[in-house]
Amino acid sequence: MAARLVVLASGGGRTLENLQNHILEGKLNARIELVIVSDAKLGALEKAEKLGLSVLVISKKSYPDRTQREHRLLGSILEARPDYVVLAGWLQLLPIPPELEGRVLNIHPALLPAFGGKGFYGQHVHQAVSAAQISLTGCTVHFATSQYDVGPIVLQAYVSIEPGADAGAIARAVFEKECQAYPEAIQSLIEGRAHWQAGEVTWS
**DSSP string for residues in 19-87:** HHHHHHTTSS-EEEEEEEES-TTSHHHHHHHHTT--EEE--TTT--SHHHHHHHHHHHHHHT--SEEEE
Q: Could you give the domains of the chain?
A: 1-100 (3.40.50.170), 106-204 (3.40.50.170)
Q: Shortest CA distance to 9 belongs to which of 76, 122, 121, 86?
A: 86
Each residue of 113-147: pLDDT tens digit? 999 998 899 999 999 999 999 999 999 999 999 88
3-class SS at 105? strand
Each residue of 184-197: pLDDT tens digit? 999 999 999 999 99
Each residue of 85-114: pLDDT tens digit? 999 999 888 999 999 999 999 999 999 999
Q: What is the pLDDT of residue 146?
A: 86
Segment holding 99, helix H or strand E: none
The CA distance from 104 to 116, in Å, is: 17
Q: What is the pLDDT of residue 198?
A: 87
- Active site includes 71? no
Residues facing 156 on adjacent strands? 140
Query: Mean pLDDT throughout 6-27?
Result: 97
Each residue of 25-74: pLDDT tens digit? 999 999 999 999 999 999 999 999 999 999 999 999 999 999 999 999 99
pTM for the model stands at 0.96
Q: Which of 22, 108, 126, 142 is catalytic?
A: 108
